[in-house]
């Protein structure tokens, strides 16, 4: 495993970071608690020290399982990254920006983006309780909230740093302009954004800005939620309540299948999985600090952790980039 410094902070994070969205179950066709906790333990045992989660993942379940899993581990050697700003329990009393209707056990639950100071303070206390800890290493706004001034949100994060409840403040899904506005109030540690072989839009404006401002980039969905594993082109089938049934439709699946087939030829010669090849390529891209990789069982977690066990040569990177270029 490799470890990288996040922005201007003292945080040293594992380049492959455990992404805990899927273990929450909602939008992913459910979860198996034992498998989820085993995947966390396996990640840590194989060098992954950083875990990224959010209250919305499983409506608190993801954070709760992480808290339970870490009871047998040394908290000081694990970096917990979580978020705030998605409200589903009605506590926002109609305030904030409507996001979408989530589904839980067949029920539609309205989710709002809400990043007021009072809500941030409330959410942090709830997250600390679920995670069974007294501090969060990196707290991030989950999605921009157009109804709350960015200054108010950032002032709340600064207060939490001063109180010792969080070590650093980050954002997620922020545009370049939103980062510039936030930087007027606080020095951001990071921006968590989507980045993959199929989606490199951040290279245009976000990456140059974050490099200039010494802000880390946390890349999420590097595997495009499993599409780049190739398994959904063969025997694997998604459950009806899995959001990926619609998500995959945004891509030209025939071109993606061709890409996966080309990547498979290289992966086979290196005796690695396609997933490991894709993740390793992602860690080597300009501006990327850490890469989130989800795992729903110990086997997947160990595979992700071993991504840093090999390198890609210049010629291999050229081969991969040429294959990606055919998507256009």
Show the domain range for 303: 3-229+279-310
Q: What is the pLDDT of residue 316?
A: 97
Q: What is the pLDDT of residue 28?
A: 46
Domain membership flag for residue 191 = yes
CATH of the domain at 301: 3.20.20.100
Query: Do residues 54 and 47 touch, judged by C-beta distance below 8 A?
Result: no
Q: What is the pLDDT of residue 234?
A: 66
Domain membership flag for residue 223 = yes
Instruction: Tell me how many domains the chain contains.
Output: 1
Domain membership flag for residue 118 = yes
Q: What is the pLDDT of residue 102?
A: 87
Residue 18 is a catalytic residue: no
Domain membership flag for residue 69 = yes
pLDDT, averaged per 10 consecutive residues of the chain (328 residues), comes to 97 97 63 86 97 94 94 95 95 92 83 96 98 98 97 98 98 98 98 95 96 97 83 64 66 84 95 96 97 93 96 97 90
Q: What is the pLDDT of residue 3?
A: 98
Catalytic, out of 3, 18, 57, 112? 57
Domain membership flag for residue 273 = no
């Amino acid at each position: 495993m490799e470890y990288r410094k996040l922005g201007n902070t003292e945080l040293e994070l594992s380049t492959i970071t455990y992404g805990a969205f899927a273990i929450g179950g909602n939008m992913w066709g459910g979860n198996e608690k034992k498998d989820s906790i085993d995947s966390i333990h396996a990640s840590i045992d194989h060098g992954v020290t950083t875990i990224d989660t959010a209250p919305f993942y499983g409506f608190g379940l993801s954070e709760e399982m992480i808290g339970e899993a870490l009871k047998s581990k040394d908290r000081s050697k694990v970096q917990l990254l979580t978020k705030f700003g998605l409200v589903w329990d009605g506590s926002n009393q109609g305030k904030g920006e409507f996001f979408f209707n989530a589904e839980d056990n067949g029920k539609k639950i309205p989710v709002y983006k809400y990043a007021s100071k009072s809500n941030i303070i409330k959410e942090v206390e709830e997250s600390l309780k679920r995670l069974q800890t007294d501090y969060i290493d990196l707290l991030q706004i989950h999605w921009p909230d157009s109804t709350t001034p960015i200054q108010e949100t950032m002032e709340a994060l600064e207060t939490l740093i001063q109180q010792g409840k969080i070590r650093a403040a980050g954002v997620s899904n922020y545009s370049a302009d939103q980062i510039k506005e936030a930087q007027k109030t606080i020095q951001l540690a990071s921006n968590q954004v989507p980045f993959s072989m199929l989606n490199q839009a951040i290279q245009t404006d976000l990456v140059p800005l974050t490099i200039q401002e010494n802000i880390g980039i946390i890349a999420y969905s590097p595997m495009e939620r499993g599409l780049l594993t190739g398994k959904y082109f063969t025997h694997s089938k998604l459950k009806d309540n899995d959001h990926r049934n619609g998500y995959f439709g945004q891509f030209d699946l025939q071109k993606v299948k061709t890409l996966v087939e080309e990547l498979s030829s290289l992966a086979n010669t290196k005796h690695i999985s396609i997933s490991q090849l894709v993740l390793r390529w992602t860690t080597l891209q300009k501006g990327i600090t850490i890469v989130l990789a989800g795992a729903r069982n110990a086997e997947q977690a160990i595979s992700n952790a071993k991504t840093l066990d090999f390198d890609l040569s210049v010629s291999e990177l050229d081969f991969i980039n040429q294959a990606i270029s055919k998507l256009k």
